[in-house]
Structure 1
Amino acid sequence: MLDCVVQNWQGEEVGKATLDLRVAKEENAAHIVHRALVRQLTNARQGTASSKTRSEVRGGGRKPWRQKGTGRARAGSIRSPLWRGGGVIFGPKPREFNLKMNRKERRLALRTALASRAEDLIVVEDFVEQLPRPKTKDLLQAISRWGIESDSKILLILPQKEEMVYLSARNLSTLKLIVATNLNVCDLLWAKKIVTTSSALAKIQEVYSD
């Protein structure tokens, strides 16, 4: 169980929040999180790299010169892999990189990764009404009041997509905004600080508690 201090928009402590998630055993935690991370990064690969073999390169149907008598090495096509402009030997072809992992294992890895970041988790009150219009400066000042350095990599978790928060945050290269139902291991491990709202924390408890 994680006990968190809840701060308001001004950075003042206004309450407590808890998050109770079932995590992997200590001896298996690093292994299962690593597997989930490798799976996510591997499955993100497009696998569209492709090169042409000598049979796919245009041209080369005529023998460049006769077989004997020229003093040169024998050659049958200008599209040989040994020639400039020729085919590629053992080059990449489109392929699938997908790795499989059971759903229960994936969710266990996600809960374990989130629990491992307990010291870097900051819970704040819902602040949508504090941004009636897009204002990156106001959001940066609030982040500073919450005790986070402005150049830190920050993961901001909201219960649902809020237009004004999104427009205020999209210009910050070190801040990534996601919805509570879209948590993933890569983002949880990437961020130096994780900021979530009280309602987003309740949503995480509801969605990932099984």
Structure 2
Amino acid sequence: MVDCVVKDWQGADAGTATLDLSVASEDNAAHIVHRAIVRQMHNARQGTLSSKTRSEVRGGGRKPWRQKGTGRARAGSNRSPLWRGGGVIFGPKPRDFAVKMNRKERRLALRTAFQSRVDDMVVVQGFEEQLSAPKTKEVLSAMQRWGIEPDQKVLMITAEKSDVIHRSVRNVPSIKLILATNLNAYDIVLADRLVVTSAALEKIQEVYSA
């Protein structure tokens, strides 16, 4: 169980929130989080890369020259992999890169990765009402008040979809906005800082608790 300080829009302390998730043991934590990230990256691959072998390229039906007597090396096809325009030896073919991982292990890895970032996490009150219209400048100013540097990669987690927040941060390349129900280990580990609304923190514990 970890107690997190909740900050308001102005950056002042506005209470505390409790984060209590069941996580992996210290001996297995790094291993299971690594497996979850490798699985996610592999499953994101399309696997559509394809090259043609010598049997698939066009041409090559006639022997280029007779077997003996020319002084040149013997050749049976002008689509040999040794020739320009020939097929590819052991080239890539469409394949499925999917890696399986049990659902309980995936959720355990997610909880472990999330709770391991407590020191880099900023819990804030819901700030959608503070934005009367999409304002990127106001959100960036608020993040500085929360102690986040401009050059840091930020993962912002909210409980519900908000068009105002989305339009305020979509042009900032260092900020990624996701919902609490769409958490993934890769984004959690990649970010330098996590900005989590108090409602999103409750949602995470409700959805991902063991």
- TM category (shorter chain) comes to over 0.9
| 1:47 matches 2:47 | yes
Match of 1:85 in 2: 85
Q: Deviations over 1:80-131 (max 9, x none)?
A: 0000110001111000111111000000000000110010110000000111
Report how far residue 24 of structure 1 moved.
0.6
Report how far residue 150 of structure 1 moved.
1.0
Report how far residue 133 of structure 1 moved.
1.2
Q: What amino acid is aligned across from residue 105 of structure 2 in structure 1?
A: E
Q: What amino acid is aligned across from residue 64 of structure 2 in structure 1?
A: P
| 1:204 matches 2:200 | no
Match of 2:190 in 1: 190
| 1:64 matches 2:64 | yes
Match of 1:75 in 2: 75
Report how far residue 196 of structure 1 moved.
0.6
Matched residues in 1 for 2:29 and 2:61: separation?
A: 59
Match of 2:37 in 1: 37
Percent identity over the alignment is: 69
Q: What amino acid is aligned across from residue 194 of structure 2 in structure 1?
A: I
SS of the residue aligned with 2:122?
strand
Q: Deviations over 1:1-38 (max 9, x none)?
A: 12100001110101110011100111111111111111
Which of structure 1's runs of 4+ aligned residues deviate more than 3 A? Answer: none
**Structure 2: gaps (5+ residues):** none
Report how far residue 55 of structure 1 moved.
0.7
Spell out the pairing of 1:131-210 with structure 2 (5 A cutoff).
131-210=131-210
Report how far residue 186 of structure 1 moved.
0.2
Report how far residue 198 of structure 1 moved.
0.8
Report how far residue 68 of structure 1 moved.
1.6
Matched residues in 1 for 2:65 and 2:99: separation?
A: 49
Q: How many residues align?
A: 210
Match of 2:6 in 1: 6
Matched residues in 1 for 2:69 and 2:209: separation?
A: 80
Match of 1:125 in 2: 125
Matched residues in 2 for 1:131 and 1:149: separation?
A: 21
Matched residues in 2 for 1:92 and 1:51: separation?
A: 6
Match of 1:25 in 2: 25
Matched residues in 1 for 2:129 and 2:119: separation?
A: 27
**Structure 1: gaps (5+ residues):** none
Q: Provide TM-score, normalisation by structure 2.
A: 0.98
Report how far residue 139 of structure 1 moved.
0.6
SS of the residue aligned with 1:157?
strand
